[in-house]
Structure 1
Amino acid sequence: MRDINLRATEYFEAVARLGTVTKAAAELAVSPSAVSQQIRILEEQFGVRLFRREKRRLVLTLDGDRLFQTTTQAFRAIRNARSAISLQRNVRTLVIRVSPSFGVRWLGPRIADFAAQNRDWNIRIDATPDFTAFETESVDFDLRYGLGGWAGLTVNKVMNDLVLPLCSPDYLAQLRTVSDDPVEQLRAARLIDSVKMLYRWDIWLAAHRVEVANLSYPFRFDRSSMSIELAKQGGGLALDSVTLCLPELQRGELVPFSTEFEVIDFPAYWLVCPPRHFNRRIVGRFADWLAEVASSHDAAARRLLVDLGCRFRPESGPSGPESEEGAETETG
Structure 2
Amino acid sequence: MRDINLKATEYFEAVARLGTVTRAAGELGVSPSAVSQQIRLLETQLGIRLFRREKRRLVLTQDGDRLFQVTTQAFGALRNARNAIGRQRDMRSLSLRVSPTFGVRWLGTRIARFAELHPDWAIRVDATPDYSSFETEAIDLDLRYGQGDWAGLTVEPLMHDLVLPMASPAYRDRLVAEVGADPAELLTAARLIDSVKSLLRWDLWLAATGVTLALPQYPFRFDRSSMALEMAREGGGVALDSAALCLPQLAEGSLVPLFPTLPVIEFPAYWFVCPPRHLNRRIVGRFHGWIEGAAKEHEAETRACLTALGCSFAPPVPQAGFDPDTL
Normalization by structure 1: what TM-score?
Answer: 0.89
Separation (CA, whole Å) in 2 of partners of 1:48 and 1:217: 80
Q: Deviations over 1:195-247 (max 9, x none)?
A: 11101122222333334455343322221112222222222211111111101
Equivalent in the alignment of 1:199: 200
Separation (CA, whole Å) in 2 of partners of 1:319 and 1:137: 35
Partners of 1:164 and 1:240 within 8 A in 2? yes
Letter in 2 for 1:173: D
- The size of the alignment, in residue pairs, is 321
Q: Pairwise mapping of residues 51-90 of structure 1 onto structure 2 (< 5 A)?
A: 51-90=51-90
Letter in 1 for 2:270: Y
Equivalent in the alignment of 1:153: 153
Match of 1:318 among 290, 297, 322: 322
Verify: 1:110 aligned to 2:110, yes or no: yes
Separation (CA, whole Å) in 1 of partners of 2:52 and 2:194: 76
Equivalent in the alignment of 1:19: 19
Q: Deviations over 1:146-204 (max 9, x none)?
A: 11232222221112110111111222223223211332221122222211110112222
Separation (CA, whole Å) in 2 of partners of 1:275 and 1:29: 46
Q: Root-mean-square deviation (CA), in Å? A: 2.1
Q: Pairwise mapping of residues 110-259 of structure 1 onto structure 2 (< 5 A)?
A: 110-180=110-180, 181-259=182-260
Verify: 1:270 aligned to 2:279, yes or no: no
Separation (CA, whole Å) in 1 of partners of 2:40 and 2:150: 67
**SS of 2:239's equivalent?**
strand
Separation (CA, whole Å) in 2 of partners of 1:288 and 1:249: 27
**SS of 1:272's equivalent?**
strand
Q: Deviations over 1:91-117 (max 9, x none)?
A: 222222211111121112222222233
Partners of 2:49 and 2:61 within 8 A in 1? yes
Distance change (3 Å), C-alpha of 1:172 and 1:55: farther
Stretches of structure 1 lacking an aligned partner (at least 5 in a row): 324-332
Separation (CA, whole Å) in 1 of partners of 2:61 and 2:219: 72
Letter in 2 for 1:15: V
Distance change (3 Å), C-alpha of 1:214 and 1:182: closer
Separation (CA, whole Å) in 2 of partners of 1:171 and 1:234: 5
Letter in 1 for 2:12: F
Separation (CA, whole Å) in 1 of partners of 2:291 and 2:30: 55
Partners of 2:144 and 2:271 within 8 A in 1? yes
Partners of 2:165 and 2:240 within 8 A in 1? yes
Equivalent in the alignment of 1:280: 281
Separation (CA, whole Å) in 2 of partners of 1:285 and 1:34: 51
Identity %, equivalent residues: 66
Q: Deviations over 1:68-103 (max 9, x none)?
A: 121111111111221122222222222222111111
Separation (CA, whole Å) in 2 of partners of 1:280 and 1:31: 45
Equivalent in the alignment of 1:326: none
**SS of 1:312's equivalent?**
coil
Separation (CA, whole Å) in 2 of partners of 1:61 and 1:217: 78
Separation (CA, whole Å) in 1 of partners of 2:175 and 2:63: 81
**SS of 1:155's equivalent?**
strand
**SS of 1:178's equivalent?**
helix
Partners of 1:264 and 1:313 within 8 A in 2? yes
Equivalent in the alignment of 1:327: none
**SS of 2:179's equivalent?**
coil
Moved more, 214-223 or 180-189: 214-223
Letter in 1 for 2:255: L
**SS of 2:106's equivalent?**
helix
Separation (CA, whole Å) in 1 of partners of 2:18 and 2:174: 75
Partners of 1:178 and 1:184 within 8 A in 2? no
**SS of 2:58's equivalent?**
strand
Normalization by structure 2: what TM-score?
Answer: 0.90
Partners of 1:146 and 1:198 within 8 A in 2? yes
Partners of 1:20 and 1:58 within 8 A in 2? yes
Moved more, 90-99 or 238-247: 90-99
